[in-house]
A and B are shown apart, each in its own frame.
Chain A
Amino acid sequence: MAQLHVPKNPTQPSSSVSHSLHSQKPKKQALTTAMVSQYGIKYAVHIITNHFGPLVAKVCDCLLKKGPLPLREIVRYTELSETLVRNCLLVLIQHNCLQPFLLEEEGGFGEVNKVSSLYMVLFDNVLHRVRFSKFMAIVSQEFNKLCVDLIETLLQHGRLSSEQIFDGFRDSTEGSSSGGMEALQENIHKLVMARYVERCPISEPFLALPSEEEAAPARRRGAKSAKVFLEPETLEQRVLAAAVPPEGMRFSFELNPEIGADREKAENSSTGDKRKHDALESGTDGGFVDKQVVLWRVNCEEFTRRLRHKICIEIVRTRLDDEAATVFTAMLNASRSEEKKIKTASSVPLSENSIYAEVIKSEKGRNMTLDYVISVLVGLSSSPPFVRVIDNSYSIDYKHIIEVAQTDEVESIVYKKYGKDAYRMFRLLSKTGRFLETDKISDSIFVEKKETANMLSKMWQGDYLQMEKLVAGPTQFLLWKVNMINLRERVLDDMFHASLNLSLRVAYELEQQKEILHLGVDGPMKEKYEKLKKVRFLLESSRMKLDDAIMIFHDF
C-alpha cells in the first residue's frame, strides 16, 4: 500500500516502484495494480458502506487491500458465505464498481496454462459515486430535462438495457404513446452521441500471457541498461483496456421504431433483481453478461474529462481574466473531439483562425476582433504558459495547468499551517527543485538563521520537506528539499482523510437533525434546526470543493 510520507531517515532508500520490472519470469503476469493510499481505501469503503451497506463494503475493502482475487479467496478473507460474497459482487458489478476478468498464467512444468477468474474493484468509479450531482449539472447545461432524468436513472441503477430504460419511463411519464417512446430513444441517442452514455464493458475480458514479442523489449531494456525506466502499465489499465467495447460499438445506438410494441421481454426484466441477472450470467462464474442484451451505463470518463475542462477554465480565469477564459474555452471546444483519454497532456495544435472561428460562436466572444484574440493568446502563452505555441499553432498545456493547480493547493496549505515565512521558504525550495543549505535559505529569504532552521525543521517534521545531513569535519550542514511528487500523493491522502471526516460529520449532524425533527421544530428548537441546516450546507459544499481538489490530484 502506498504510504507516501517522505522517509524520516534520509540514508534509507525510499521504497521503490515495481518489482515487475526485474521479474525473473517474463511470462508471469505482473499483478501491478494502481496503488491506493491508506485513506483512499478508507474513503472508498466509507462511500460503499453508505450506498450499499457493510457487507458489500467488506468485500470492497478486502479487494482494495489485497488487489484482484478469485471468488474463493474473497470468501476466505471476508469469512462470509459464498452466496453472500457472490451477491455483494453482483451489486458492485451492477454499479460499475467491480470488473471481473480472466487471467492466463503459466502452468507448472509440462502443464497447460491456467486461467483464473478474478475480481477487481474500480477505485475511480467508487469515487465517482459522490460526483453524480456534478455529472447531472453538466447534462442539464447541455440537454433537456428528459436527458437529465435519463442520466439520473442510469446513475441510480448502474447499468440498464434499453428495454429497462423504456419501461421505467413508460411507467413514470405520460409518454406511453409511441411518440413519447420515440422522443426517449432520440434523447438516449443524443446522450450516446455526446458520449455521456456508453455500452457496458465486456463482462469478463481475457488477459492472455504476453507473447514473446511483447515480453522481449522489456528483457532487452533490462539487459542493456537498468536506468531506462518505463512506467509499467498497471493491471487495472490492462483490464480496463481489454474490457472496452470496440470504438464503433461503444457509442452506437440504433433507433428501433418497433420499440414499445414488444413488451414481453421488457416485462420479464423489469424488477430490480432481474436487472442484476441481466447484468450477470446466472451461472457459476458470476461475471458474464447475456450477450443478447445490450446494457447501457453512464460514461464517467467523458464526465471526468468535462470536469477537467471546467476546472482548467476556472484556473485560467483566476490567474488571468474573463477574456482569457473565453478564448481558452473556445480552444477546448475546438479540440475536444480529438481527445482520446482523460489525462491528455496537451490538446491538438490549433491555428489562430480556427480558434477565432470558435471564439465568435460564444456570446462573450462575439465582440472580440481577431487581433484581440491573438493578443489574449500571447497572454495565455506567456509565463506561466497555459498554452504552448508551436509553428504559429496553439496547443493547450493541460499537464502544466493541472500542475499549477496542484502547486497552488499545496502552497496554500503550507501558508495556512506554517505561516508566511514558511510559505516563502517552501516556494524557494519548490522552485529551486534541489537541496539547499539552511544558511543559503536564510540569506535568500531574509529571515534570521535560527528562525529559518526552526521553521524548516517544523515543515520537515510535518513531512512537507525532505532533509539530509552533510557532515564536513566537526561541522554539520542540513540540506532541505521539496519532493513534489511524494508531497502530492501525501496531500491526496490527506484529502481523502478530510473528505471522509466531512462525510462522517455530515452523518453526525443528520442524526442531530433527526432528533430535533422528532421533538418538533417549533419554539427554541427552530433556531437550532436552522443552524443545523446551515452547518450541513457548509459541510456538503466543502466536501464538493474538496472533491474538485481530489480530482485535480487523482483523476486529472
Chain B
Amino acid sequence: MSRLQGPSSLKRKRPELNSPAQSLTEHERILYDVIRSKQDIGIWTRDMKKEAKLPDNVVNKSLKALQVKNLIKEVVNIQNKGRKHFMATEFEPSKEISGGAWYLEGSLDTEFIESLRQLCKRQIEKKVVATLEEVTDLINSYPAFNVDVTKQQIEEILRTLIWDNAIMEVKSNGMGEFASIPFGKVCYRYVSKGGLGGEPRAGALATIPCGVCPRISHCTPDGVISPKTCVYYQKWLDF
C-alpha cells in the first residue's frame, strides 16, 4: 500500500494500449464503450447494466473478460465503498472517486500522510522558520522520499501541523529569525513545546480527575458519586 518506496500516484504510468480491444465480442464491445465513455469517473455495475441494456449474466461474463484483457479495472468509489465500480484502465480515478491524492485504493493513506507530516515538521524544526515554497522544495529533494508532492499538498499537511500546535503560521517581520524571508510573507514557525506526538501542556483542570471526569454531571457533595467516594480520586491519590 505504501507509496513511500514506489512511484507516486502522480507518477503512475498509464497502461500500454495495444491490440486486446480489437478482439472483443459484441457484448464486450458495448460494455467497454459504456465504461470508457465515463472516463475517470467510471461506472457502477447497476448503472452499467441499465445503460448497456444487457442481461445480468452477459454483463458479468463480459466484465470478467474485459478485466482479463486488462481493458477495465475495478476501482473503489470513496463515496460508496460497497458498490462495484469499474473504469477503463487508461484512466486514473478522479478526485471524486478516489478521494484525492491522500487516498489509496479507497482508504486514507495514513502511513504516507504521517510520514509527510513528520518530514515537514522536521524540516521546519531544523530551520525554525520556513516558507511553504522552502518546505516543498526540501521535501521534493529529500532522497529517501520517492514521491513528488505539490505545494498545495504540502500546504494541506502544514495546516494539520498547525491544528496539532506543532507549528504556527506567522508573517515575517524581516528581522531576527525572519531575516531571510521578505517582510509580510506568510511562513511557518516551529513551536518548541508540545505538538506532534507530544501532548499539549496539561492545564490546571486537565491534571485533576474532575477535569476529565465522564460522571462529573452526576457528582454531588453527598450523592452516590461524590468526592469522598470517587473511584477516580481513589486512583489518583493512591501512591
A391-432 interface code vs B (CB 8 A; 1 in, 0 out): 000000000000000001111110111001001110110010
A382-B170, A415-B199 as given contacts; A495 in contact with B160, CB under 8 Å: no
Considering the complex, which residues of chain B in the window 175-208 have a beta carbon less than 8 Å from any beta carbon of chain A? Answer: 175-176, 178, 189, 193, 199-208
A residues less than 8 Å from B237 (CB atoms) = 535, 538-539
B87-127 interface code vs A (CB 8 A; 1 in, 0 out): 00000000000001010000110100100000000000000
A residues less than 8 Å from B108 (CB atoms) = 446-448
Q: Which of B165, B175, B211 has a CB less than 8 Å from the CB of A413? A: B211
Q: CA separation between A211 and B160, bound complex, in Å?
A: 56
Considering the complex, which residues of chain A in the window 479-497 have a beta carbon less than 8 Å from any beta carbon of chain B? Answer: 491, 494-495, 497
Q: Is B207 in contact with A542, judged by CB distance below 8 angstroms?
A: yes
Q: CA separation between A504 and B226, bound complex, in Å?
A: 9
Q: CA separation between A151 and B237, bound complex, in Å?
A: 34
Q: Which of A379, A445, A549 has a CB less than 8 Å from the CB of B203? A: A549
Q: Is B173 in contact with A409, judged by CB distance below 8 angstroms?
A: no
Q: Is A375 in contact with B216, judged by CB distance below 8 angstroms?
A: no
Q: Which of B102, B171, B208, B226 has a CB less than 8 Å from the CB of A546? A: B208
The answer to the question of A383 belonging to the interface, with a C-beta cut-off of 8 Å to chain B, is yes
Q: Which of B108, B163, B205, B210 is packed against the most chain A CB atoms within 10 Å? A: B205
A434-452 interface code vs B (CB 8 A; 1 in, 0 out): 0000000001111110000
Interface residue tally for chain A (C-beta within 8 Å) = 52
Task: State the Cβ distance, B196 to closest chain A Cβ, in Å.
Answer: 9
Q: Is A409 in contact with B203, judged by CB distance below 8 angstroms?
A: yes
The answer to the question of B74 belonging to the interface, with a C-beta cut-off of 8 Å to chain A, is no
A383-B170, A424-B163, A427-B165 as given contacts; A409 in contact with B204, CB under 8 Å: yes
A residues less than 8 Å from B216 (CB atoms) = 494, 497
B residues less than 8 Å from A505 (CB atoms) = 227-228, 230, 233
The answer to the question of A50 belonging to the interface, with a C-beta cut-off of 8 Å to chain B, is no
How many residue pairs bridge A and B at CB < 8 Å?
Answer: 130
A56-100 interface code vs B (CB 8 A; 1 in, 0 out): 000000000000000000000000000000000000000000000
Q: Which of B201, B219, B228 has a CB less than 8 Å from the CB of A318? A: B201
Task: State the Cβ distance, B122 to closest chain A Cβ, in Å.
Answer: 18
The answer to the question of B148 belonging to the interface, with a C-beta cut-off of 8 Å to chain A, is no
Q: Is A508 in contact with B204, judged by CB distance below 8 angstroms?
A: no
Task: State the Cβ distance, A459 to closest chain B Cβ, in Å.
Answer: 13
Q: CA separation between A318 and B227, bound complex, in Å?
A: 32
Q: Is B204 in contact with A549, judged by CB distance below 8 angstroms?
A: yes
B residues less than 8 Å from A446 (CB atoms) = 102, 108, 110, 113, 160
Interface residue tally for chain B (C-beta within 8 Å) = 46
Q: Is A383 in contact with B159, judged by CB distance below 8 angstroms?
A: no
The answer to the question of A500 belonging to the interface, with a C-beta cut-off of 8 Å to chain B, is yes
Q: Is A409 in contact with B205, judged by CB distance below 8 angstroms?
A: yes
Q: CA separation between A448 and B106, bound complex, in Å?
A: 11
A residues less than 8 Å from B228 (CB atoms) = 504-505, 508
The answer to the question of B55 belonging to the interface, with a C-beta cut-off of 8 Å to chain A, is no
Q: Which of A378, A428, A445, A548 has a CB less than 8 Å from the CB of B173? A: A378
Q: Which of B163, B207, B226, B239 has a CB less than 8 Å from the CB of A534? A: B239
Q: CA separation between A539 and B160, bound complex, in Å?
A: 37
Q: CA separation between A445 and B117, bound complex, in Å?
A: 11
A362-400 interface code vs B (CB 8 A; 1 in, 0 out): 000000000000010011011110000000000000000
A498-B210, A501-B219 as given contacts; A444 in contact with B160, CB under 8 Å: yes
A424-B163, A498-B211, A500-B221 as given contacts; A412 in contact with B227, CB under 8 Å: no
B residues less than 8 Å from A413 (CB atoms) = 203, 205-206, 211-212
Chain B residue with the shortest CB-CB distance to A542: B208
Q: CA separation between A447 and B216, bound complex, in Å?
A: 29
Q: CA separation between A427 and B160, bound complex, in Å?
A: 10
Q: CA separation between A548 and B168, bound complex, in Å?
A: 27
Q: CA separation between A381 and B171, bound complex, in Å?
A: 11
Q: CA separation between A409 and B203, bound complex, in Å?
A: 5
9 pairs, CB–CB < 8 Å, chain A vs chain B: A383-B189, A408-B203, A412-B202, A416-B212, A446-B110, A497-B210, A501-B210, A501-B230, A546-B204
Known contacts A498-B208, A504-B226, then 10 further A-B pairs from the complex at CB < 8 Å, ordered by chain A residue = A381-B173, A383-B170, A408-B203, A412-B201, A427-B163, A448-B108, A498-B211, A501-B219, A534-B239, A535-B237
